[in-house]
Amino acid sequence: GIYLGAGEGGVDSDNFFEAIVKAWDDNAARMDWSAWAKVAFSKMTGMCELEQEPNMPASHIAVLTGARGQTRSCLTACAASTQAIGEAAMMIRSGRADVMITGGAHSMIHPLGVSGFSRLTALSTRNDSPETASRPFSASRDGFVLGEGAAIVILESLDSAKKRGVEILAELTGFGSSSDAFRVTDMHEEARGAVQAINSALADAGIGCEKIDYISTHGTSTTENDSIETKAIKTVFGEHAKTTPLSSPKSMFGHLIGATGCAELITCILAIRDNILPPTMNLNDPDPQLDLDYVPNKPRKANVDTVMSESFGFGGQNNVLIIKRYEEN
């Protein structure tokens, strides 16, 4: 089957806004919808609608691969691909699928996406230095850098992987999910949803927090997220928080919104494979209130066997995955 995290598709912004401009009647201070329709029909095709449907990435993959099992799309904003992977694992556990193509794809780099996040004051304003603008856990952080892309993993049962004779890169052992049930733009100030999701993932994996060798944080480089996420980790990990390294992959490739969770999970898989902790880049002025080990500015060699990956989305959706090094019994 297929289960992808996704969001609204790209908009043909140039033609869409041209139609609006040409149809605006200054004298009447209103839209002339007949004029709008004339311009829109001459400039835009029926594909404009299909390109915006969030289920299209999964549908295209089904056509390309011939996958005829369940095809689903998860629309939980920044947590979408993490939730898709977790729920795909649940489908495999329940026997409803043997193999799932899962991950996410999203593009918000268009006028509506950029202006929307700007109005939310979620984006960094360091336009003159984009390579240093994403600086999670830094005292001077002021928002995330918008990225775009796709990331896909093949998730399957152990029997299926052995039958296909493929290299097993990691084992997914835990999934936790929760809702803040708070404000759609803000995490709960006591991190209750994040704490719940982390605890659920640990319980699902059947381990304590002391077994986690590395945490891939949501780490958006916004003032609120980085503070509350640090609070969540301290709440769950207690004394182990100080000795558990964590970092933000978004400091390197930006925020891919619906695709970001899977991209970060792949980073975690590579961390296990290579025994290397990914860094938090641009962490040159640490926030004195954030006092954990954020692996600043350069990768670090370490023994990495079990990893936690966190994703927290607009709307209060929280999803956490735990993976570990695969070992033959």
Q: How do residues 245-258 score in pLDDT, each as one tens digit?
A: 999 999 999 999 99
Q: Looking at residue 16, what is its pLDDT?
A: 74
Higher per-residue pLDDT: 90 or 38: 90
Count other Cβ atoms within 10 Å, centred on residue 35.
14
Going by pLDDT thresholds of 50, 70 and 90, the confidence category of residue 11 is: low
Instruction: Give CA–CA dist 76/251, Å, rounded.
Output: 22
Does the pLDDT of residue 178 top 80, yes or no?
yes
What Å distances lie between residue 257 and 218, 271, 312, CA to CA?
11, 22, 10
Mean of per-residue pLDDT scores for the chain = 94
- Cite the DSSP H helix spans in the chain: 13-23, 33-43, 47-52, 56-65, 80-93, 111-119, 130-133, 158-164, 192-205, 223-237, 250-253, 260-274
Pairing of strands 30-31, 24-25: antiparallel
Domain 1-329, classified CATH 3.40.47.10, yes or no = yes
Least confident of 20-34, 78-92, 220-234, 246-260: 20-34
- pTM for the whole structure: 0.93
Q: Of the candidates 8, 24, 79, which has an alpha carbon nearest to the alpha carbon of residue 258?
A: 79
Judged against a pLDDT cut of 80, whether residue 44 lies above it is answered with no
- Which DSSP state fits 9? -
C-alpha to C-alpha distance for 264 and 245, rounded to whole angstroms: 15
For the residues 31-47, what does the mean pLDDT come to? 80
Say if residue 87's pLDDT is above 80.
yes
pLDDT of residue 10 exceeding 70: no
Catalytic sites, residue numbers: 78, 218, 255
Q: CA-CA distance, 275 to 131, in Å (whole number)?
A: 26
pLDDT tens-digit map of 273-290: 999 999 999 999 999 999
